[in-house]
Structure 1
């Protein structure tokens, strides 16, 4: 009886912990992401070495923040120490100055989780080569 009560309490605790976790990101669609990325293309190219107002995002997945040669990053981005993975990119485009206070990126945030996932899916198709 005691064993059953302890197990029940443990499982109840897991339910509360699971409820506290952020929801999983929706699966992204690269084709839709390419369309959604159009709002980013005013500042960011996906051609290797082609920097604009923002750095090239070719091969961004797995890259360290502040690492594109020839681009003048803000001191905040140079010191951020981020690795651009799916979750970090989604968090950044949702609230750039919240993740990296002092960033130069002043674009309107992408707050829709599906749009974020789609943009990330598209960026995963853009090679640095």
Structure 2
């Protein structure tokens, strides 16, 4: 029984590291090109909000917390933005919200389906 618990823990650890490692392969320069799909509504400059909040410093930030006063989406969300959450969000916002048990209403319409594009965008966001 103890062996089984250690095996399960070991497998979970390896999977988590492998998942995070996939995003470490992103190319920030290529991600800047992907960000062009986002920049009509978002900036990566601290405090410079557009239609949506600035994405500067988003990595590790609690969802729904921003200095952008008009932003109401994700208020009260109980997760932080990490590689996996950002990837899932930009792939399909409504599915992500449903999975988190949150209302599925969002103004964000851009979806980035290609995994490599998401990896590159995440690398770009990490650089800001």
Secondary structure of the corresponding residue to residue 29 of structure 2: helix
| Structure possessing the higher radius of gyration over alpha carbons | 1
Q: Distance in 1 between matches of 2:107 and 2:94?
A: 8
Q: Is the 8 A contact 2:31 2:121 kept in 1?
A: yes
Any stretches of 5+ residues in structure 2 without a counterpart?
Answer: 98-102
1:86 lines up with 2:83 in the alignment: yes
Structure 1 length as normaliser, TM-score? 0.73
Secondary structure of the corresponding residue to residue 78 of structure 1: coil
> What is the 5 A alignment of 1:1-129?
24=19, 25=22, 27-75=25-73, 77-100=74-97, 101-126=103-128
Deviates more, 1:34-43 or 1:24-33: 24-33
Q: Distance in 2 between matches of 1:63 and 1:103?
A: 21
Deviates more, 1:48-57 or 1:103-112: 103-112
Any stretches of 5+ residues in structure 1 without a counterpart?
Answer: 1-9
Change (3 A) 1:89 1:99: same
Q: Is the 8 A contact 1:74 1:103 kept in 2?
A: no
Change (3 A) 1:96 1:84: same
Q: Distance in 2 between matches of 1:45 and 1:92?
A: 17
Q: Distance in 2 between matches of 1:105 and 1:70?
A: 15
Structure 2 length as normaliser, TM-score? 0.74
